[in-house]
Structure formats: C-alpha cells, structure tokens
Amino acid sequence: MKNLLFFKSTLLTVICVFFFNVSQAQSLASKIDKILTNQFKNNETGVSALVAKDGKVLYRKAFGKANLELDVDMTSDNVFEIGSITKQFTSVSILMLLEEGKLSLDDEITKFIPDYPTNGNKITIHHLLTHTSGIKSYTSMQSFGEIATIDKTPLEFINFFKNEPMDFDPGEKYLYNNSAYFILGYIIEKVSGISYEKFLQERIFDKINMKSSYYGSHTKLIKNRASGYEKGADFVNAQYISLTLPYAAGSIMSTVDDMLKWQTAITNNVFVKKETIAKAFTNYTLNNGDKINYGYGWSLDELNDVPTIEHGGAIPGYLSMGVFVPSENVYVILFSNCGCQSPTNTALEIAALAINKPKFEAGKEVKLSIEQLNNWVGTYEFDAKVLRFITLKDGQLYSQREGSPKSFKIFPTSPTSFTFEEGFISYDFSIKDGKKVALFKNRINKVEGIFTDKVATKEKEIITVSADVLKTYEGVYEIQPGFDLTITAKENQLFAQATGQAQFELFATTETNFFLKVVKAEIEFHKNEKDEIIALTLYQGGNAMKAMKK
C-alpha cells in the first residue's frame, strides 16, 4: 500500500510538471505570436522565426508572404539570403584551416595577395576578422553602385577596392568592413585549394546536413526561395546585386532549420575544438586597449545584463538576425524578406522572453515619490561633450539628448534605476564624490555622465519651405546597393527613412538644405539644369554620401 501511494504521488508530480511545462511553452508561443503579428501582416512581406533551447525547438512559425506577386504564404521552409550572417561561416572556415596548420591568425595578407598595397602597414588575418584592418569597405565606396550588378572573380573585385586610401592604421579603430571578409574568402580559396562555395558545401553544409543552404545564386533553381522586396510608397522587387560581390561577406542562403543545425554544431564544437571556437567569441581590443565588442564573425553584446553572441544581416530584399544566449543555450533566428522590415529588435525581444528576462513594459514600474524622482533631475555630461537632460513633469521623468527634438519617458525599476519604454536602454543613477552620476546603458555599451551646470546650445534656425517644393524632393535615393533613403512629404514637413530604420523628420535651413535632430546629420538636395531634383548628399560622421534618385 505504501509503495502504491508513493507511485501515485510520483506520477501526480510528473503529470503536474508536464502540464506546467506545456503551459509555459504555450504562453511563450502566444507572446511570440503577438510580437511577430504586430510587425508582420498576413498580406505583406513576411518573417520566418525559430526559437530553440538546448538544441530543441520551442517555437517555429512563419507569417506574411514569401511572394507577393503570386500570393504565396511564408512557411518555415522558405530559403532566404542571410547577408552578413555569412561572416560566421567565413570565420569558422578560417579557424578550421588554422587548426589544420595551413595559416596563422598573424599571417599578413601580403602572404596571400603579394601585390596588396598595405602602405607599410602590417595587416593580418586577425585584423580582417575583427574589422580593425583599416582597409576601405567596398560598400562605403560611391563607385560600388556602378558595378553592383556585374559578376567578378575574387581577385578582380579585390582589385576594385585595394587601391582605396586606408581609413586608419590597423588596430587603431573598429569599423565594420565587408572588404575584409571578402579578402578572407579569397584566403580560404588560396589555402584550401578549392573555391569558397565548394568549401562551404563540402566542409560545412554536407557535414551537418544543411540541405537547404547554398552559396547564393540568382540563376539556380532553389526550392522554397522567398522573394526579396523593398518598400518606398509601395512594395517593389529588390534591386539586383551580383552575389559574386557579397561573397564571403554575405552571399549565403539558408533556412531557420538549417541555422539551428549550424548553431548546434558550433555549440558542440563540431568543426573545431572548444579552445579554437573560443577565439571567435573573444571580445578583442584596439591598440589602445578599448574593447570592440566583436570577435570573429560574431558581435558580443548583452540582453538585460545577460551576455549574448549575435549577428544580423542585410542584403537587397532581405534582413536577418540571430541571437545566441550561451548561459541558457537559447538560440533565436529571424529572417525577413523585405529591407523595410528589420527583425533585429524583434529577435532581441523574443530572446529576452525565452530566457525569462523580458523587455520592460510600461505599467510595471515601481512607485516613487516626487522627492525621489527629483533626486536625479538635471543635466549630465557624457563623453564627447554629449549632454542629456533629465526633467520631471507631472510626476514623470523624461530624458532628452541635446539636439534631439523629442524627450523620452523613463520609468523607475528601483529608486536609482530607470528604463526607457524601448526596454533595453536604461539609466543607473548614483552619488560619487558628492556629485550626481548617470550611467547610461544601451545593452553592452555603457557610458558615465557627470552632473553639470551646462545648458543646451542654441538650435539652428528653421525655415518653412512650401509644400509644393517639398513634394519635388519625394522619392527613393540609393546610398549604396541595398541601402536607400526614402524621402516623403506630408503638408509642410519632409521625412527621411533609411532602409530598415524608422522615419525621421527633416528640418529646413534653406530651400535645399535640411538637418535631422535625432542624429547629427544633414541632407542637401541637388538639381539638374532643368531644375529637377536628381540626387541628395547625406552628411554624417564626417562623410559625404551622394545618393542618386531612382
């Protein structure tokens, strides 16, 4: 009888645990459904999403359309161009050749390309992998648009960008660089004796049964290919780009299922030893010791203080985002088939849910007195003399960066911690040496501001431009292949929206010159001899980027 009672008790416990786990999974699935359907509509471009823990699928769904013209629904089996997530495959390929003794991370690129002009600098494979080489990235070259549709051999394309001036000396700065990963692809070919495409197929895809993954092709018949789109006023087919040009920096095609196979293989050290793959997940530093938050082919970040390893991808018509949380062995991968629908923040929000560290939601803040809120009111000066203003109005704290037209609500999660409604950006306030200090945290990036008596600088004088003139500026301007700036006019206001980003207001200082308040950037419109608007120049970060009107 005692054994029978024990058996019944144990069985009841197992049943309860089972139903609790099922209930949790259903709750997670319904929350993810809501997040995805809020962004991706059934009659528009779509998304394929997968969430896994310990290599097992927790969520696998697709929404929207794989092909708008044929009215084909998206499925989890659809194949996408994954853009820069390709860089993971390139870095692991290099590490495989490292283990085989065929190269060293300290090898200079002139060992493989003897005539590469390094201007006396030592540029190594390590520099290429970490985006610290200083080589000009071809996607930042205005002339790239002129050849973007032309097939090139690896050496032909290296010759296209190799004589560009260096942006900086190796190791001095971190600047995301597609040229570097293109060169890595050529090094893989040179060292292995086979093409990059064949290396991927034989050494990676075949090894772990990635049957729906390919080196990208526009001509090959690929089952379940999702069509790629862009959006201005309406959806349009994505601009054509020769996939010989993204190459080892961004030409792979895959599915969410195959990407889980890839991540599981990386976690289980299938391709290289544990100590070797650890090199890919090391947070490297510049010559001055500053961390770059990048390893080899993966970014290193945090999600509500939990370390993550992640990367996104962008190529005409497609955007992607993959997030891995090592401590929880959770993997989230999202693919979108429109340059207008970024999955980045969505993937982060889903990953936070999956590790039970959900994004902050307004309404769940703690209650503080007016006196407690007033403790942190004031102006704080951060690096590069950036000022942020903390103000109190009607019992609500606000944060506003100097130059920004908008202030943002910040919500208390403790007497000294406040979170933006966006959820992953926050302040931690404290008193140090008798001064108020604000630690501004944007995920892994943290910067400290000190209380100051400084006031905001005088804003630029804004003029009004007639609605008729503003209407002539409307259109899509190509900054580079796959990255457009869409200009729209609404009554007496002009707006700009970059591919995959939010729409922002433009403010006029002359009839053809405008500036943004959300970031330090200016736009100048150009006319032809017929007084027609044909181009614009975007001035930002010391760069002048001319974009022709499509």
Tens digit of pLDDT for each residue in 243-282? 999 999 999 999 999 999 999 999 999 999 999 999 999 9
User: What do you get for the CA distance between the two ends of the chain, in Å?
Assistant: 83
Alpha-carbon distance of 485 to 149, in angstroms, equals 20
Torsion of CA 465, 469, 473, 474, to 10 degrees: 100
Question: Can you give the pLDDT at residue 3?
Answer: 58
**For residue 303, what pLDDT band results from cuts at 50, 70 and 90?**
very high
Structure tokens at 508: 């006029």
22 pLDDT more than 90: no
The residue type of 43 is: N
Nearest to 476 by CA among 534, 517, 540: 534
Please state, rounded to an integer, the average pLDDT across all residues of the chain: 92
Per-residue pLDDT, 196:
98
358: DSSP letter:
P
| Nearest one of 64, 51, 48, 62 to 25, comparing CA atoms | 51
Q: Is the pLDDT of residue 521 over 80?
A: yes
460-507 residue pLDDT tens: 788 999 999 999 999 888 887 777 889 999 888 999 988 767 788 999
Asked whether the predicted pLDDT for residue 382 surpasses 60, the reply is yes
Q: How far apart are CA 436 and CA 42, in angstroms?
A: 49
Burial class (CB in 10 A: 0-12, 13-18, 19+), 298: buried
- Region 467-549: CATH code: 2.40.128.50
Q: Residue 9 has what pLDDT?
A: 56
Give dist(CA 136, CA 163) in Å, integer: 9
Q: Dump pLDDT digits (tens) for 390-418.
A: 999 999 999 999 877 788 999 999 999 99
CA-nearest of 75, 83, 65, 45 to 321 is 83
Asked if the model's pLDDT at residue 377 lies above 70, the reply is yes
pTM exceeding 0.95:
no
What is the predicted pLDDT for the residue at 457? 67
89 sits in which H/E element:
helix 86-99
Nearest-angstrom CA–CA distance, 64 and 39 = 10
**Cα within 13 Å of Cα(2), Cβ side:** 0
Distance CA 277, CA 270 (A): 10
Domain ranges, ordered by start, for the chain: 80-354, 370-452, 467-549
- Integer Cα distance of 189 and 93 in angstroms: 10
Asked whether 149 and 241 are in contact (CB, 8 A), the reply is: yes
Q: Determine the Cα angle at 322 with ends 317 and 327, to 5°.
A: 175
Q: What is the mean pLDDT of residues 38-64?
A: 97
Q: Do domains 370-452 and 467-549 have the same CATH topology?
A: yes
Give pLDDT, residue 120. 92
Give the CA angle between residues 309, 314, 319 to the nearest 5°: 85
pLDDT of residue 18: 46
Confidence of residue 161 (pLDDT cuts 50, 70, 90): very high
pLDDT(10) > 90: no
Q: Is the pLDDT of residue 316 over 60?
A: yes
Residue of 140 and 13 predicted with greater confidence: 140
- With tokens 């150009």, the residue in question is 526
Eight-state DSSP code of residue 203: I
Q: Which amino acid is at 495?
A: F
pLDDT value for 16: 44
Q: In this predicted structure, which of 204-208, 350-354, 454-458 has the lowest mean pLDDT?
A: 454-458
Regarding the domain delimited by 80-354, which CATH topology (the fold level of the hierarchy) does it fall under?
Beta-lactamase (3.40.710)
Please compute the mean of the pLDDT values over residues 130-142 and round it to a whole number: 94
pLDDT at residue 24 in the model: 63
**Contact at 8 Å (CB) between 349 and 238?**
no
Q: Which residues contact 84 (CB under 8 A, 6 or more apart)?
A: 178, 249, 250, 311, 312, 313, 314, 315
Predicted confidence band at 421 (pLDDT cuts at 50, 70, 90)?
confident
Residue 17 pLDDT > 50 = no
Q: In the CATH scheme, what architecture does the domain 370-452 have?
A: Beta Barrel (2.40)
**What are residue 496's phi and psi, to 5 degrees?**
-125, 140
